[in-house]
Structure 1
Amino acid sequence: MQAALARRGLHGSERKMLHSARRKFLALALSLLAAASVLAAPASAATRLVKNTATVSYGASGIGLVNSNEVTLEVGSATIGGVRGGGAATLTLYGDQGTTRPIQYLLLGTTGYLKLDARACKNDPASLQTRIATLTTSDGDSEQVLATETAPDSHIFLLAPVPTRRGPAQGGSGQIETPKGATVTVAIQGCDTPVTVDFGLVDPVGIVFDSVTGSPVNGLDVSLFKASGAACTQQLATVLAPDELDALVPSPNPYRSHDGGRYQFPIVPAGSYCLQVASTATYTFPSARPLASQAPGRVSSAGSLGLPFPVGPEPLFVAIDLPVDPMATKLALFVNKKASRDTVLAGEQLQFTVLVKNVSATQVSHLTLRDAMSTGLSYLGASLRINDAAAADPKTAAGSLSIALPDLAPGKSHTISYRTALSPSAPSSVHNAASATAAEGISNTATVKVEVRRGFETDAKGVLTGTVYLACQAKDPSANPGVPGVRLLLEDGTGAVTDRLGRYSRYGLRSGTHVLKIDPTSLPEYARLVAPDGAGLGFIDLKDGELFKRNFALECTDEAQEQVKARATAPVTDEVFSALSRTFSAAVFMPGIGGASSLSSTGTGSARDLPAPGVRDAFGTAREFSAAGNERSLNPAAEAARAARSIVPAADQATALETALLAIETNEAAFLNLLDDQVLAVSTVSVQVKAPMESKLTVALDGVVLDESRIGQRSLYRDKAVMGIEYVGVK
């Protein structure tokens, strides 16, 4: 077996895990059969009618029960067990003719090899003994085979091979036959005391059947998908099965029903799953008929209708019967569905409109529309309208809507519309399927597919946002004042500064874990973080396309409130002129054009307390160079006039890069958040620039090119063929 597993690419811990899973699975399967079995007592005992149905619970919660076939026997006494010995006899079941591979149960459709230790049989020490063994199933089949002693006076008998077949019991056919699993009792004749033992015959299959007639349906593809929470995914599950060497190997998924509607998924890891049957021109799935009205004797659960069901806590087979509706019963209604848009951005809203028409010659009643939404879509409350009139919110369960509709006369129709929201983590496309049911029949299934885009600013990246605020109002958090000017840093050195309302955001972040830290030096003097944020540190587990919000609260003291008010009003004083003079320049390299085109400066920050490039005299007059290279004098009078119109608080510059790109008219290279002759109120700024797409852009401060590590965000606006770049923490 080890060699077989190695050939299949399974080694070490994987083999141990699979062997353990298989042993537990076999033990559970045997226990299932044993619990469903009762053995016949001697004829002299008083008989009674016993009916028993075994139940397997997939998980500790007790939900998702799967029932076995019902076993009915007339018995006098019952002994429950897997492999049982009577009259000092024990039975060992093998899966190979050489009796080297013992197994705990026999799979229906295979051949079993039985070895019996029957010490109750007197033997001749000089010769091999032969006995007649009678094999009887719990559903009525009876066969006889020879049992030959392996050695004189050994008491060990080897029975002739026992073939099995799925089908009705036919005594004397030379093979054990059962419709769907049974308990097999072995009795040896010619011994001093009765010798009886039993073993399990397992058929781990489900049946696809007609929901109206109950007849099995062949030729339909059954798929097993993984489920996430209460929603089904489109990811096929891993299915295993034992091969001829008893090694676990991949088993088909999907599986086409055959031989009486059978499908099989022999061994499935613990988890949550969904079953789906591919609809055809003849049959559709899931069935619209209630499980209670289905044909009796079927193994049914939520999984029978395509809803999630659990398997576990150990690997187990899936044996759930699946009803499908014949199209002949679906001519009463026609459903058509449309979406308001073919393409939508993640996080936006989307409207669906469904038309339900009565195409039969009679009125239909008890009409219900079922609308199944894929992962990423959620219904928006109070948005349902039926025939242009507002309606109560529908029932929702496992991502599906159930909408009750008025009766429909022949040829008439209902129009239903509602709105949905797409989560930021929605997949690249979402599907929405609608079908209608009535007492007189059901409809076709109408499906709409909508493509989901992430927007021009990011390629499925995450967004981090939040607020730094004073925790003054516990009852009304929205009334808490935000704290401007607080710097938040990520693990890569990039970050953001809160605006006048204490808000911050970072776009285009990769998925994974990020570390967010508040710079304590940027907090107001009398402000302290509130527990559990006392360290000002947070870990962010970000997914692709996810919008993650992380707030930080500060103690609401009188001193802190005064500091926050002072920051919010952002009064400008002469201290502004103590900042270092800066000149920004940029060069754009266009594809196919030799050399670089200079980008004229649309903004400079200047000051007078430190030397700028040039000469400063005793009166503080400094020389400043613009991006174009021309020199001009900065005298105090001119500076004062310029400052009156150009000093802008830092909070007002915090315009989102995407917003700035939306407002532009051309894609020519330019600064976005800096103006000519602008004086900045802070010494550290974020610089936003734009340039044509596919161009190479460099930005320089006092002639020193800014390193790309200072880039905090890149955005593309394809409609205007422009790109935007934001440099953060520029000093």
Structure 2
Amino acid sequence: MNIENLALYKDTNGNGVLDEGEPRIYRISALPVNTSVNLLVYGKVPINVLIGAVTKVEIEASSPQTSTRINTDTITAMEAATIKGKAWLDANHDGIYQQGEPLLGGYHVELLCDKNYIAYNRSIGGPIGGCKTPPADSPYAQLLGYEIIASTTTSYEKATLGCYEIGSIPPGDGYALRFKFPNSEQVVGDPINQDSKNRHAYAENGILKNIILNPGVSVIEQNLPLDPSGVVYDAVSRQPIAGATVTLTGPPGFDPKIHTTGGVDTVTTGDNGFYQFWFYPDTPPGIYTLIVSAPNYKFQSELIPPSGRLVHPRAKGDCKGQHCVQPQAVAPTSQDSNLLTYHLEFDLDFPSGDVEILHNHIPLDPDFGSPTSAVLIIEKTAARQTVELGDFLDYTIQVRNLSVATDLPDVKVFDRLPFGFVYVPNTARLNGARLATEPISRSAPNFNIGTLNAGQTAILRYRVRIGPGSMRGNGINRAYATALGGRIRSNNSYVKVNVIAGVFTNDAYVIGKVFLDCNLNGVKDRKELGVPGVTLMLQNGVAVTTDSDGAFSLYGLRPRTHVLRLDERTLPKGAKLYTISHRHARVYPKLRQCTKASPQIERALSACRKRGWTSRRCRKVRRQKRKYLACCRQQNWRSDTKANSRFIDLSNGELHKANFAVGCHCGVVRQVKTRIKQFKHQEGTMGELPNRLQQGFTAQGNTPIVDSEYRKGLPASGTVNTYKKRQPPVDKSQTKSAKKTPATPAPILPMPNSLKKLIPKLDNKLGFVSLKDGNILPFAQTNIVVKGVAGGKLLLKVNNWPIPERRVGRKFVMKSRQLEA
């Protein structure tokens, strides 16, 4: 190895370092007796030199009066040390960088060394490079302070955000490292050492001390456990505020130059709105206060008022030994009151066990009285919190301009629907009027609002369809608004709905009928009657009773094999069941021997025997007996199994049919007809399905509101008997007051089964009969009754789409009143 550009310099001040202005010398012309001169030898090590290469440097001094003296030094090429790492916001306080934690650019990084290391090295004849720490008994050990050897700034570049690197450092010990905020000289909290070769390094007062830099790379990471710390943010838009000034005041005896890192009591926030104050352990106890100021903002916030004084903060279980005022490390975006807590006063006493205070995020109210303050606010709500697959859902968005004198042109709303939600075309309404331009995208619709005057609020409503795949999403809808071509942006508004499967659930359904099978073909024919009032039970005890048509339904069943049993005690007297499926259970005893016909037929045959077999009547009676015996044998064959129970094999989401057939005897038929009359009277002459579809509508258009709590009150399985109205759950705490002042709800009359009964109460003014604006339908299906002048053409539109004439079910005209409905 050859040292390049060797040169001699005169060390005028004797500090062992080449200072500016110190001359280069080529020879010493004269040196008085008993005097000396300090020389510095400087050279350059080649870039391509091999690590470990050795060379010797000789210095020869001679004069005519004395002999020649030679001094030889051996130089070994070593790899320079490099120190690097990154600065990030440690959101979960584990001291390890996790994906998603914010990286911090623009923070100052300083590599330090003891100010007197050079003098100490020279006093012991140490090397030029390195940063050797003086021992405890050295006089230099009592001299405090650090010298900045090198400095850099954490990167703002996207690929290397928050990263830094300092190279070409002479290997050695006694180094230190500290971080400072971008806008001030305030020292950031204790760095974290993640270099396995520097396990002896420790942090104290914001400085990582006792670092040994070996040849190669050392990694020093820096997170931000601060005390107290947080983000200054806009109380309306929830965005960080840059340029806010946070001032700390303390009790008597508090001196920020002595008791805080960096010696400052004022911090100016950067782009991320972050502030912090780091106290030394000897900080005096007492009341500390934070005061915040920012241009065009008011302090204290009235929209989000501060909490009371925080007295002696203690560690929380979810905060890794610190006290987290809020759970998140950034400004809150939710309206949850637990995420809006913050403090401006602190009663601190560190020796008593008080811990660091984190996530104390401080809101400031925008100065709406300033003519230059143009604040755009958006708020989004959903008509329902729970929806089913295939449903339609209405969203409402309110966009407000809170400025006093500034109109905002070119206001647009950007909406991001949850996965599986699709915008329904032509349903958007701005302040009740149809939008001039429809959004192009149906999954991420953008709406043009136009100009929003100062203090004005625009209300946007539109409808979405809950499509396939929506259950795989999170149901969160996100929206924000912009103005002036995106130069002004509102807050982000979130609304979440829960999507349930509804009819597309994996639960199975069972429907069926108990009917009179008079022709024994196993199928309910048109004239065969259903048997009402019959009870059927599942193996788990769930029971259901047939309606006036003999129909029943079971829902919410798990996809597996069930056993459905009919209670024979609820059948008409003398009724017999017959099998119509191979899934019926056990052996059933024979009904009787099929050797004789009915007593009437047998008496007729006895009379024919006396008269002979030639008469036409006798031949007819004989045919009746053969038919009767054949029917008897068929009934016996079909009664080999127990027809009152059957297995039901259900698959995911299956609609299974399970019928039961009853023998058609004269006495049984009469009993069934009597039951039908009784049940129809109870059900208001309607079966279960028509009653469900038509319940709750009145001529005045009032419809009951069906909320999620009411739905939860319905049974998990079984039928819903509509003629016995289910009431929403009652708050027991209000029972006593309700008895004193009983409420009289508006009567809800059922829609007449015939328009003829409804017509006399109506006039011929165009309008709806069964609906009013704002009604909420209890089901996603309804019959609509409209009225108008007789002879005119009625045109009905839904979402601006005309309904065809073939959908009209019934018409009625009253000529005397020129009324058509």
Larger Rg: 2
More strand by share: 1
Same fold (TM over 0.5): no
Q: TM-score, normalised by structure 2?
A: 0.29
